[in-house]
Each structure stands twice: as C-alpha cells, then as structure tokens.
Amino acid sequence: MISSHSREAYSLGQIPITPSAMATQNGCKLCAPLGASLVFKGIRGAVPLLHGSQGCSTYIRRYLISHFREPVDIACSNFAEQTAVFGGGANLKTALENVSRQYDPALIGIATTCLSETIGDDVPMFIKEYRAGRNAATVPPMVHVSTPSYQGTHMEGFHAAVLAVVSALAHDGTAGSEQRVNIFPGMLSPADLRHLKDIVAAFGLKAMVLPDYSETLDGGLWDTYQRIPSGGTSVEDIATAGSALASIELGHTLASRTLTAASLLEERFGVRAIRIGLPIGLRQTDALMLALAEVSGRPVPPRFTEQRGRLLDSLVDGHKHVNTIRAAVYGEDDLVAGVTAFLSEIGITPVVCATGGRSRHLTAAVQALVPQKRHAHITVLEEADFAAIEAAVAAVQPDVIIGHSKGYAMSRRLSIPLVRVGFPIHDRMGGARLLHVGYEGALALSDRLANALIDQRQAASPVGYTYM
C-alpha cells in the first residue's frame, strides 16, 4: 500500500529533522477499517461488515488471524468494477441480508473502505432504505462508521468505531442497583482486557468495557464451529452507558480528539469523564487505582498493594541491568506514550519515540511524561514510516528496540534486540496474551526487557556466563 502523506519529526531537544521522502515506505500503521473491525469483534454477537472490495476484508482478516490465532469472520459487500462506477447500495443491502440470515447477529458493524469513501457512497441512506422495507423487529441493530484509510490509521478507525457505537446505542436508562463504570480501554491485548476487568471488579464495580474482545479473540478450544465466538460486551450493557457512575478512558493522546466516547457520554447524559493514560508502569497504574477508588468509594484492595510491592522489588532487582540503557519505542501513539513513561520510571532513556499515528499529540504526551532533563536526548517522530524510524534509530544506536513485529527487519539489520509489545505480533506465539497494563503488566514487561538485554550481553561475550 503506497500513499503520500505528510511526515513530521520533532526533537524535544529542538533539533529539527527534515523529511527525506514523500512516499510511505513500510508504514508504521494499519488501515482504518481494521481498527473498526476490532471494536466490532468486542461486541457480543456482532459481525463486522466492510463496505468495499473483498481484498480489504481479506487483508484485515489475515492481519487479525496472524496475531490472535483465532478464526475471524469479516463480511464484505464485495465491490466489483461496475459497483465502483454505479455505487454500492445494492451490494450493501445484499450483504446486510446475507449476514442477517447466515449469522443472526446481535449487531452489524458497518465500516467503509477507501473505495466506497472515494466514490461517496451514502451508507446511512442505504441502511435507511434497507430498514424501510422490513419488519423492524427482525432487523438487527446496525452501527455505521466512516473509515477512509487515506484520512487516518487503524487507531482513527478504532476510536471512531467506539464513538459511533456509543453514540448509536447508549441511553440514560435506569441505574439499577449495580455500581457501574464505563471503561474505554483503547487498543489493548485480550490479556490486558481480562486484567482490567479483574481490577475493576475488585473495587465492587461492574465494568462496561468497550470493546471487549478478551474472549472473542482469545477463546478456548471449540467442540463445534461457532459462527460468532462467544464473549464480548452485550448491546444491552452498552445501552446502559449513559447511567454509569463515570467513564474511564485510557490514552494519553485522546486529548487531541474533539469528541470521544467518554466526552460524548458526559455531554449527552452527564456521565463524568475521567481520562488517564494507558496504565503501563507504576504511576499510570497508580492513577487508575486512585480513579477506581474514588468512583467506587472503596480503598485499593490489598492484593494490588501486594502486586505493587512485588513490582517495586523486581525493579530494584533488575535495576543494574536496565540503568543507563537507551531505548527506541514505536507503535500506536498511546502505547508509545505509556511504554515511554514506564521506561523513564525505571531508568531507561527513551531516545526515539515513533508512531505512524496522526494524533499529533505524542510529542506533548512525551514531554509531559518524561523528566525535562531528558528531553534533549529524545527524538519524537509522528506520522512516521519504518524508513524514517530506522534512520532515526540507526543514528542513535539504542541498546534495545520496543515495538510490534513489523520492526523485526529493522532490529535484525541493526543488530539491536527487539522486545515485542502491542499489535501486530506475527512472528511470535502469544501476542494476544502479552500483558502490558497494571502492576503485573509492568512486572512482566520489565522482566522481558532485562532478559533481552542480558541475552544480548551473553551472546556478545566471548566466554558467556551463567550466573549473575
């Protein structure tokens, strides 16, 4: 996929970096409907449907399956040449009919692709026309999200889909006896989502997590094939979002968006919006614990104090291996910001922080999260591709690279170890089970970082060593 785009790099030390090419070379981003499909996979009984050509859904399915190693059905309205000329209304209606008949879905999530956006298909009108000829009771809820990839990355598609779902389904309803909180976790792993739900439940709160693909994309072995895997947040639970005690939205760079799911619920129903960074590392996990303690009116449960203690102990133990280390981090804006904050806490200097994302808020987030005395050493790249990232990394030669598996070729060429985080992880097992969040996630990440550095030193030693 080749597209022209603006590319910007900033040095916190005020050294400007000039873009050297006008075309993307191996993008550090994925396409917008992929992010939207992931959100729809986190809703119980939902089927994602792409309005566009089959190649888009095949590419997205391939990407998701290679990471999650689960079957992923994504329907498509299958554009052909004549559809591109005359419009895709008929195709979309046929697709809606087929999906309704074959899957009996609780919701159909419709995301557009570059082609249907380029020809200007009026998807809301097509949906209205489809509904008009049918018994309303037999038509599943439908949520449409506009996801032209030439205007945004998978993260734009992801956040747009969360917003579209909340906007279409949430109402104020009755609060009931449960103490409920909305959690908008951002794009985390299934293991992260499970851990977050455990944390929220320990405060006596019921969480409406959107999206929750912790089971649908990381489930058990089946006896018989399931067209729609079990799990996910139900449409009914999403509908109660307007009467929750609060919404907790995770992500440092969400401040750059004019409207998010949490801010919409605050505007429409008065649900208090609490925004904190991804809870990666000590301080951001502390912030999550404090937020949950405040919302629930309960103290932090002892088991998290114990986990925090174990994390601190492990950081003291591993300090000699990571102190003075320099790292390059790349991936989604919010993940990069979260990992950068954690590195800074444990004595690793982040020297390159890069994203293909378009939030244009990573620089501000890094500035806020890293002590000022280190700013001069950090280069932040936004809207960057791997050509730009590799050039920046090669220039500063860090000790370790942290990011998803698309950076493996760079790591291999530069002989710098890669610690895998985020999405996609296509060249290792267990990408869905990587834990990043909470005290336990930080502990796992710090162990993996220290071990990667020890491994590198052992390999480089002429004699090797087995005891430290």
Residue 171 contacts by C-beta under 8 Å, 6 or more apart in sequence?
Answer: 239, 242, 269
**Does 76 sit near ligand SF4 (CB under 6 A)?**
no
**Does 59 sit near ligand SF4 (CB under 6 A)?**
yes
- Total site size for ligand SF4, rule CB under 6 A: 8
For residues 311 and 309, give the distance between their C-alpha atoms in angstroms, rounded to a whole number: 5
Do residues 112 and 126 touch, judged by C-beta distance below 8 A?
A: no
> Which residue in the set 37, 91, 149, 340 belongs to the binding site for ligand SF4 (CB under 6 A)?
149
Nearest to 289 by CA among 315, 276, 366, 177: 276
**At closest approach, how far in Å is the CB of 28 from ligand SF4?**
14
DSSP 305: H
> Which residue in the set 27, 33, 48, 338 belongs to the binding site for ligand SF4 (CB under 6 A)?
33
> Which residue in the set 39, 43, 56, 261 belongs to the binding site for ligand SF4 (CB under 6 A)?
56
Q: How far is CA 159 from CA 6, 69, 186, 251, 286, in A?
A: 21, 24, 8, 11, 25
**At closest approach, how far in Å is the CB of 30 from ligand SF4?**
8
**Does 116 sit near ligand SF4 (CB under 6 A)?**
no
**At closest approach, how far in Å is the CB of 59 from ligand SF4?**
5
Q: Output 27 or 318, the one with its CB closest to ligand SF4.
A: 27
**Does 77 sit near ligand SF4 (CB under 6 A)?**
no
**Does 84 sit near ligand SF4 (CB under 6 A)?**
no
For residues 295 and 308, give the distance between their C-alpha atoms in angstroms, rounded to a whole number: 21
Q: Output 33 or 48, the one with its CB closest to ligand SF4.
A: 33
Q: Output 147 or 314, the one with its CB closest to ligand SF4.
A: 147
Residue 400 contacts by C-beta under 8 Å, 6 or more apart in sequence?
Answer: 325, 326, 327, 328, 348, 416, 417, 418, 419, 449, 452, 453, 456
Do residues 57 and 81 touch, judged by C-beta distance below 8 A?
A: no
**At closest approach, how far in Å is the CB of 75 from ligand SF4?**
15
> Which residue in the set 1, 23, 201, 395 belongs to the binding site for ligand SF4 (CB under 6 A)?
1
Q: Which tokens in the block code for residue 257?
A: 């968006």
Nearest to 359 by CA among 329, 339, 381, 377: 381
| Nearest residue to ligand SF4, scored by beta-carbon proximity | 31
- Contact residues for ligand SF4 (CB under 6 A)? 1, 31, 33, 56, 59, 113-114, 149
